[in-house]
Amino acid sequence: MKYRYYIAPLVVFMLGCSHGPELAPVTGRVSMDGRPLDLAEISFEPIQGRASHAMTEKDGRYELHYTRDKMGGLVGSHTVRIKSLTELTGPNGQSIVRPQLVPDRYNTKTELHTEVERGKTNVIDFDLKSGKK
13-26: per-residue pLDDT in tens?
444 455 789 999 99
User: Dihedral of the CA atoms 52, 35, 106, 115 (nearest 10)?
Assistant: -50
Q: Is residue 3 one of the residues assigned to a domain?
A: no
Q: Is residue 119 one of the residues assigned to a domain?
A: yes
Phi/psi at 10 (5° precision): -65, -40
Q: Which domain holds residue 106?
A: 20-128
Q: Is residue 43 one of the residues assigned to a domain?
A: yes
70-123: per-residue pLDDT in tens?
999 999 999 999 999 888 787 888 888 888 999 999 999 999 999 999 999 999
Q: Is residue 6 one of the residues assigned to a domain?
A: no
Q: Is residue 8 one of the residues assigned to a domain?
A: no
Query: What's the number of domains the chain is made of?
Result: 1
Angstrom CA distances, 124 to 5, 30, 118, stand at 51, 9, 14
Q: Is residue 53 one of the residues assigned to a domain?
A: yes
* CATH code of the domain covering residue 105: 2.60.40.10
Beta strand 26-32 with 122-123 is parallel
Q: Is residue 25 one of the residues assigned to a domain?
A: yes
pTM over 0.85: no
